[in-house]
Amino acid sequence: MLLPQPMARGVLVQRYKRFFVDMVLDDGREVTAHCPNPGAMLGLKDPGLAAWVSWSGDPKRKLAWTLQLVEADGGLVGVNTMNPNKLVAEALAADAIPELSGYAVIRPEVKYSEASRVDFLLTHPDRPPCWLEVKNCHYRRDGTLAEFPDCVAARSAKHLKDLAAEVAKGARAVQLFVIQRTDCDSFAACDDLDPVYARGLRDAAEAGVEVLCYRCDISPDAIRISQRIPWRDAPAI
């Protein structure tokens, strides 16, 4: 997935009100950018970190700049939580996720369960439907381990129950973590920050929900899903 261009590099000054970030660009300009990430962004919002923002000339936008990448731990980290669904859509169209290939129709944002929308519904005349939920992951604190979530994620826990309910009906259900980092080689549920979600993920897996974890290749020009990594604390099923 190509990132919006042009991109500019700078230094974070502060993130505030969740969706705003002040930066000083490398050319000296002081800008306020949209921060498309409602999460805690632990380790990725500290003043002084280098970051990349994209610029849009759309006159309808209140903020022309959008935070896309942060330089942390020696590499680039994608922080735009709108990107994982786009990455997955592109990967599905290219059959780049082997576990999810071979479906005839890919539909985004399909209503299911009670007041929920699944990110993608994959269907084929000769196969059970596959309900696919996508989560963005960019938290890393222990070596090369990616963790989710980085704060309490009650809505995400509900999605796990929705997926398990579809498995009970005879469908296939998949929870896919898109890890917008290049420096992680395993994944774990974050027990200390959200034990309810961590337990819910294990319960969902035991109920038949498949859990896939894929990291990305990232540059200032593009992000793409690249390689599956193991779920470290997966239950023995």
Kindly report, residue by residue over 149-191, the tens digit of the pLDDT.
999 999 999 999 999 999 999 999 999 999 999 999 999 999 9
Interatomic CA distance for residues 73 and 182, integer angstroms: 10
Q: Which CATH class is domain 83-228?
A: alpha beta
Residue ranges, CATH 2.40.50.580, the chain: 7-78
Interatomic CA distance for residues 66 and 46, integer angstroms: 17
Report whether CATH 3.90.550.10 matches the domain 7-78: no
Residue ranges, CATH 3.40.1350.60, the chain: 83-228
What was the pLDDT predicted at 114? 79
pLDDT greater than 90 at residue 48? yes
Q: What is the pTM of this model?
A: 0.95
From the CB of residue 103, how many other CB atoms can be counted at a distance below 10 Å?
Answer: 18
What was the pLDDT predicted at 76? 97
pLDDT greater than 80 at residue 115? no
At 192-226, the pLDDT tens digits run 999 999 999 999 999 999 999 999 999 999 999 99
Check if the beta carbon of residue 139 is closer than 8 Å to that of residue 145: no
Q: Which residues of 159-187 are buried (b: 16+ CB within 10 A; e: fewer)?
A: bbebbbbbbeeebbbbbbbbbbbbbbebb
